[in-house]
């Protein structure tokens, strides 16, 4: 009978507890790698899914994914006039937090350029795209909103007409899709008293000028709604997304936009790089560091466990040497137990992860390449961890059993 298996059967409870402990530790290592991958996936999800070729952002800024960007809404019409451009859409994105059913609700408000973009490209799992310009929204399931539910944001109420799955922002908050007009209404919503004070301030500024004294109607006009004042432009948007015509040269179109002094142009790949090197870079590096530390800790713990198991068998090992057992038998005993602990712990980690990882608050992405890499690491750790016990076992003198 195999000595390693026989020893495990003799100390089954201890072996099971040891394997479970190693399995839980490896599950954390596996989960940390999955969170690392999930962070990257969430960060670039919207950029990849939205289907834009070029991004026009505020001049001398790095775009809405790195900092505040504000461009005029009519930039959309200017972009359409450039040769090689098939279409242009406004981009509005911001985060709001409201109380809903007694709990905080954080929504990444995403504006769809109605009517060109109704959200048909979204991965809908229930409901439909936007059917009208106002008061409808598409919500991700992570927000906990039900199809047909109504939620108040600002002064208006919005009905959930569609549900998506896995559409979250870089912070892990679920996306809510509205028309651009509604997204701006939510973003620039102000309390009635603040609106009243702003109108009164405009009236006072106009009446202090000679033009306001000569034309009182002008002052009255200034005290009205901002939308009725021709001198005030439409609300600004975060960026404009450009889709190129088939066969168009992206470099040539980008060169044309780069000559505009009020905007900066980025490709989708550049926006993705800005996200990974800016907003999520520190969190990504921190998760990577924790993952490395956990692997090192796992190696140390496994080495200590194998060494402790070897110490418990020193009397038996001395007996084996006394009856003439070769060193390779003793080495095989310790190495096989170490490999069994590593293999069973890895299998347990993977099995538990299938149930635990989908319930994590952040996306956990486990890729096959990561599983294979971790399996190789566990194999190396198992072999290295056994060396400490093997070294101790080979130094045991056979006459120790006689002294006992």
**pLDDT surpassing 50 at residue 1:** no
**pLDDT surpassing 60 at residue 403:** no
**pLDDT surpassing 70 at residue 235:** yes
**pLDDT surpassing 80 at residue 231:** no
Is pLDDT larger for residue 16 or for residue 318?
16
Mean pLDDT, residues 126-153: 91
**pLDDT surpassing 60 at residue 402:** no
Mean pLDDT, residues 367-382: 87
User: Which residue stretches of 188-275 are H helix?
Assistant: 192-207, 210-214, 216-222, 250-258, 268-274
Other beta carbons within 10 angstroms of residue 391's beta carbon come to 12
CB 163 within 8 A of CB 141: yes
**pLDDT tens digits, one per residue of 310-344:** 766 666 666 666 666 676 777 777 788 788 888 88
Q: Give the Cα separation of 310 and 308 in Å (integer).
A: 5
Mean pLDDT, residues 378-401: 74
| Residue 206, pLDDT score | 73
160-188 burial, b for 16+ CB within 10 Å, e for fewer? bbbbbebbbbbebbbbbbbbbbbbbbbbe
**pLDDT surpassing 60 at residue 3:** no
Which range is least confidently modeled, 9-23, 168-182, 390-404? 390-404
**pLDDT surpassing 60 at residue 191:** yes
Is residue 403 reached through a cis peptide bond, with omega within 30 degrees of 0 on the bond before it?
no
Q: Give the Cα separation of 192 and 154 in Å (integer).
A: 11
| Residue 219, pLDDT score | 65
| Residue 179, pLDDT score | 92
Distances from the Cα of 85 to the Cα of 236, 249, 359, angstroms: 22, 10, 43
| Residue 4, pLDDT score | 55
Mean pLDDT, residues 205-228: 67
DSSP at 226: G
CB 65 within 8 A of CB 274: yes
Average pLDDT score over the chain: 81
Task: Please enumerate in sequence order all residues whose Cβ is within 8 A of that of 190, keeping only pairs 6 or more positions apart, or say none.
Answer: 198
């Amino acid at each position: 009978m195999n000595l390693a298996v026989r020893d495990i059967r003799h100390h089954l409870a201890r072996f099971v507890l040891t394997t479970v402990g190693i399995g839980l530790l490896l599950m954390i290592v596996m989960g940390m790698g999955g969170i690392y991958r999930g962070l990257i996936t969430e960060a670039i999800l919207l950029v990849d899914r939205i289907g834009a070729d070029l991004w026009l952002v505020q001049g001398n800024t790095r775009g809405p994914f790195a900092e505040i960007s504000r461009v005029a809404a009519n930039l959309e019409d200017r972009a359409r006039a450039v040769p090689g451009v098939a279409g242009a859409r406004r981009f509005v994105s911001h985060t709001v937090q409201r109380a809903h059913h007694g709990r905080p609700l954080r929504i990444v408000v995403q504006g769809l350029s109605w009517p060109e973009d109704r959200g048909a490209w979204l991965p809908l799992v229930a409901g439909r795209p936007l059917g009208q310009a106002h008061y409808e929204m598409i919500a991700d399931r992570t927000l906990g909103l039900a199809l047909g539910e109504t939620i108040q944001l600002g002064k208006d109420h919005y009905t959930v007409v569609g549900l998506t799955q896995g559409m979250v922002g870089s912070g892990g908050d679920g996306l809510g899709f509205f028309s651009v007009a509604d997204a701006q209404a939510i973003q620039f919503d102000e309390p009635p008293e603040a609106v009243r004070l702003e109108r009164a301030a405009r009236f006072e500024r106009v009446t202090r000028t000679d033009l306001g004294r000569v034309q009182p109607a002008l002052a009255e006009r200034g005290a009205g709604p901002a939308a009725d004042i021709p001198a005030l432009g439409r609300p600004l948007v975060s960026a404009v997304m450009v889709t190129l015509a088939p066969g168009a040269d992206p470099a040539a179109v980008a060169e044309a936009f780069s000559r505009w002094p009020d905007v900066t142009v980025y490709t989708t790949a550049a926006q993705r790089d800005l996200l990974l090197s800016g907003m999520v870079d520190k969190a990504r590096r921190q998760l990577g560091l924790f993952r490395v530390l956990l692997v090192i800790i796992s190696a140390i713990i496994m080495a200590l466990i194998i060494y402790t198991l070897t110490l418990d068998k020193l009397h038996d090992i001395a007996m084996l040497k006394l009856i003439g057992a070769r060193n390779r038998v003793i080495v095989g005993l310790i190495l096989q137990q170490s490999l069994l602990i590593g293999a069973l712990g890895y299998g347990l980690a993977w099995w538990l992860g299938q149930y635990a990882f989908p319930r994590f608050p952040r996306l956990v992405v486990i890729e096959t390449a990561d599983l294979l890499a971790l399996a190789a690491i566990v194999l190396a750790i198992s072999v290295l961890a056994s060396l400490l016990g093997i070294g101790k076992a080979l130094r045991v003198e056979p006459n120790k059993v006689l002294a006992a």
